Amino acid sequence: MKNRILAGLTVAGVAILASCGQDLTQSTAVPAAPSLTRVVTPTCSYSTATNDARTYFSSNKDAVFTLLSTMSKLGTGAAANGAGWSVLGRLADAAGTAAVKGTAAQGSTFANDVLLCMAVSTYTYPLDLSGALGANGLFAVRDGSSAAPAISRGTSLYGAEPSTGNWPVAGSTLFYASPVTSSLFDNETPAGVVFDLKSLPGGLTFSPLLRVGVCSISDPNARILHDHTGNAVILSPDDALSFCSTASNATQSSNSLFAAAATLATWLAPQPAHAATTMFKLGGGGTGLVGGLSDIGPVSFTSVVTFTQTPNNTSVSTQPQQFTPTVTVTAITAKGHAIANVLITLTVASNNGSFNISGNTAYTDVNGVATFPSLRIDKAGGYTMTATTEVGGTASTFFNINGQ
């Protein structure tokens, strides 16, 4: 059996290099000689896949061998995709059961053997699936013929499912996830484990939307963390995840983001998770690009709000923009990370009776900055303006508006 060299294993942004070698024992010392090592990129080998299946599966009569034989007769590339998904589906069904004798790492090796013989867009060898095949992992193959959710094994229940009907996918999709340490909020205090949920192929558009969530979030200060690039998510407290047995007992805070249906947020935005069981839909109004899905799980952090451009003294009659320069507010974590796409609301208190304010709400951009170009107050007076975010944190400043 030819030696294979594994290189470039990436998990949560940390590169891990592994290599195989042999020690040469010699009876006498000899001078070291220079040598050249040629790294060979592995290619499809059904004999290798079969041997690795024997290492991982408990029985040599497991159904996976029949499926693998069928796949081998179809060759490689796109022609083998259908049979390949069936092999990966059997791997998914067997994980965590008595049908498996090998380690999660050995299961990951076998999965890569199979994927090397397929033509799956966005797949790059080697893909580390050991966490997904581990005790608290999620590894599931789904297509449009099923409504069964993709859920984790183990004690921390999480997963994804169609919002309506069957899975809205063209062909088959591998959903995989595992607990991770998020680097987005370096050293921020975790309120619980974060689960890194992804898909293969990646960059999919789901319509209707997918529901994704973590069951039994008990920390009232927890946040849902989105750590992958994409368009938007819609948070919804109204749809119960079928695999969360406590979903019917969920409670929501009336003033939380979950109380408002169809609230948009970017993938990089931490959002409140006040419900005992919470969930969110993936996509942007049914058309959002899902680029690898989302990290899901509770993460606690402190929001710091500042006026980066305070409201200058102005007048009621100033047109077309009352406040110049434009008022801006920045929201970051205590560790200095920008909090993207959270709603910031400006409120004012006057010493001169009633007034009307408009243009006083805005979402932060990727740098955590909210801009208020249309901010206007219709009455002269002295005002105290307060900026408040939906994830906590406030800042205040004072200014005057004259009547001219």
Query: How far is residue 162's CA from residue 208's CA, in Å, rounded to a whole number?
Result: 7
Rounded CA separation 83/112 (Å)? 15
Q: Which residues of the chain have pLDDT under 50?
A: 1-31, 33-35, 186-187, 227-238, 246-278, 284-287
β-strand 303-309 against 327-333: which pairing, if any? antiparallel
3-state secondary structure of 84: helix
pTM over 0.75: no
Alpha-carbon distances of 262 from 222, 237, 238, 274, rounded to whole Å: 20, 10, 10, 16
Say if CB 107 and CB 95 are below 8 A apart: yes
pLDDT at 227: 47
CA-wise closest residue to 241 among 279, 285, 201: 279
Q: Which stretches does DSSP call E strand in 232-287?
A: 233-235, 263-265, 271-272, 278-282
Domains of the chain in start order, with CATH, are 42-134 (no CATH), 145-301 (no CATH), 303-402 (2.60.40.10)
Q: Omega of the bond prior to 208 within 30 degrees of 0, cis?
A: yes
Beta bridge partners of 303: 333
Tens-place pLDDT, residues 358-384: 999 998 887 889 999 999 999 999 999
Residue 38 CB burial class (10 angstroms; 0-12, 13-18, ≥19) = exposed
User: How confident is the model over 260-274, as pLDDT tens digits?
Assistant: 222 222 223 334 333
Strand partners, 200: 174
Q: How many CB atoms lie within 10 A of CB 333?
A: 22
**Two tokens at 273?**
């998770």
Q: Which backbone phi and psi does 247 adopt, to 5 degrees?
A: -60, -35
Distance CA 104, CA 99 (A): 13
For 106-118, how does the pLDDT look when each residue is reduced to its tens digit (9 = 90+)? 999 999 999 999 9
How far apart CA 304 and CA 316 sit, in angstroms, is: 31
- B/e letters for 260-276, b = 16+ CB within 10 Å, e = fewer, are eeebbbbbbbbbbbbbb
C-alpha 123/C-alpha 114 separation (Å) is 12
Tell which residue, 286, 290, 285, has the closest CA to residue 267.
290
CA contacts within 13 A on the Cβ side of 351: 9
Q: How far is the C-alpha of 217 from the C-alpha of 210, rounded, in Å?
A: 20
